[in-house]
Amino acid sequence: MKRIAVFTSGGDSPGMNACIRAVVRTGIYRGLDVYGIYRGYEGMIEGEIKRMYSYSVSNIVQRGGTILKSARSLEFRTPEGRKKAYENLKSHGIEGLVAIGGDGTFTGAKVFFEEYGIPTVGCPGTIDNDIYGTDYTIGFDTAVNTALEAIDKIRDTAAAHDRIFFIEVMGRDAGFIAVECGIGGGAEFVMVPETKTDLKHVVKSLKNLRKTKTSSILVVAEGDDLGNAEEIMQQVKAQIKDPNKEFKVTTLGHIQRGGNPTAFDRVLASRCGMAAVEGLLEGKTNCMAGVVNKEVVYTPFGDCIGMPKPLIPDHLKLIDILSI
């Protein structure tokens, strides 16, 4: 293998640039020509492919987002679109790919490999931390710290005005961000997609907490079974029926995706990027390079996509214990 390409796809996450940097410089260190594909699979179809050098990734390790851009590609889901992508890669002599992204990215890479056989190794780039085969995903730690900083500030005003705040964080299908923020932010409740939310219990507990606490913080993952933070707040408010108690909602939204990556995310991204290149050179393909118990591991895309990644039960228990 003499020529590889790297691309980012799906939602951006802090640390993707650090991963790109590691892929480019590891490839050059190993004597490879490294190319960057702009705008993910869409750019692959459109031929937005450029040679990258060591200086191409200078001064990006600390930047959020992705210098290679990202895009959703409906055309890549079609055989015709994938054929265009393959022809563009072959015209540049590209023999291997590093795909940085999440479930959607790896699903596309798996189908592409099955059809055209171009070796591909992925790096787990998503703030949701919901990919099987790695303890943490690139961007998760930064997203949690960003959300936690906001929660700390909201608690100040909640305490000052004796308010109950419902804070919505990202997590359509996974509650990892909500759980970490709940523990770190001292939340009274955390609501996540993985567990069924008992509204009666929430209402009863809030009423009891009023005897010892004047304010409360409830962290809601956007994919909770009862709805988003606004919908849950309205349900709780209707049952508590206290005209003297104020209920507020704050949706943190895409602020969680941006910002400078933490040291943890920069190191994780760099390790995964290096491991992806070395994996390609060792003949690995159709798999993801992740870190489990501080060691680099390679997990087949099929498992990354199909295997569930459960929350840590002790973390949910910890929230209940510390909220009294």
pLDDT of residue 161: 86
Residue 48 CA: distances (Å) to CA of 55, 89, 130, 323: 19, 10, 29, 51
> Are residues 13 and 119 part of one domain?
yes
pLDDT of residue 89: 97
pLDDT of residue 163: 87
- Give the mean pLDDT of 143-152: 96
> Are residues 97 and 198 part of one domain?
no
Answer positive or negative: Cα dihedral of 227, 229, 235, 236: positive
pLDDT in tens, 23-43: 999 999 999 999 999 999 999
pLDDT of residue 243: 76
Does residue 8 sit within a domain?
yes
At residue 194 the predicted structure's pLDDT band, cuts being 50, 70 and 90, is very high
Answer positive or negative: Cα dihedral of 259, 265, 267, 269: negative
Does residue 237 sit within a domain?
yes
> Are residues 180 and 65 part of one domain?
no
Domain hosting 201: range is 143-257
At residue 6 the predicted structure's pLDDT band, cuts being 50, 70 and 90, is very high
> Are residues 131 and 265 part of one domain?
yes
The percent of residues above 90 in pLDDT, for the chain, comes to 83
C-alpha angle 310-182-134 in degrees, rounded to nearest 5: 35
Residue 112 CA: distances (Å) to CA of 26, 120, 225, 276: 24, 9, 34, 17
pLDDT score of 274 more than 90 = yes
At residue 313 the predicted structure's pLDDT band, cuts being 50, 70 and 90, is confident
Is the separation of the CB atoms in 301 and 134 below 8 Å?
Answer: no
Strands 33-37 and 3-8: parallel
> Are residues 291 and 244 part of one domain?
no
> Are residues 105 and 230 part of one domain?
no
- Give the mean pLDDT of 220-225: 94
pLDDT in tens, 109-119: 999 999 999 99
Which residue carries 């710290």 as its tokens?
145
Strands 287-292 and 295-300: antiparallel
Average predicted confidence (pLDDT) for the chain? 94
From CA 59, how far away is CA 18, in angstroms rounded? Answer: 10
pLDDT of residue 245: 81
Q: How many domains does the chain have?
A: 2
> Are residues 16 and 135 part of one domain?
yes
Strands 3-8 and 163-169: unpaired
pLDDT of residue 242: 77
In this structure, what CATH number is given to the domain that contains residue 235? 3.40.50.460
Tokens (6 digits) for 283: 């003949």
Residue 30 CA: distances (Å) to CA of 84, 93, 96, 132, 274: 29, 17, 14, 29, 10
Does residue 320 sit within a domain?
no
pLDDT in tens, 227-257: 999 999 999 998 888 777 889 999 999 999 9
Query: What contacts 94, CB < 8 A, 6 or more positions away?
Result: 3, 4, 5, 35, 49, 118
Does residue 177 sit within a domain?
yes
pLDDT score of 212 more than 80 = no
What are φ and ψ of residue 323, in 5° steps? -90, -5
> Are residues 10 and 134 part of one domain?
yes
> Is 128 part of the annotated catalytic residue set?
yes
Tokens (6 digits) for 10: 């799906």
From CA 288, how far away is CA 309, in angstroms rounded? Answer: 15
> Are residues 170 and 123 part of one domain?
no
Does residue 113 sit within a domain?
yes
What are residue 100's DSSP bridge partners? 8, 123
> Are residues 231 and 244 part of one domain?
yes
> Are residues 155 and 229 part of one domain?
yes
pLDDT score of 53 more than 90 = yes
> Are residues 215 and 291 part of one domain?
no
Give the type of residue at 37. I
The percent of residues above 70 in pLDDT, for the chain, comes to 99
Does residue 251 sit within a domain?
yes
The catalytic residue among 128, 130, 141, 265 is 128
pLDDT of residue 21: 98
pLDDT score of 99 more than 80 = yes
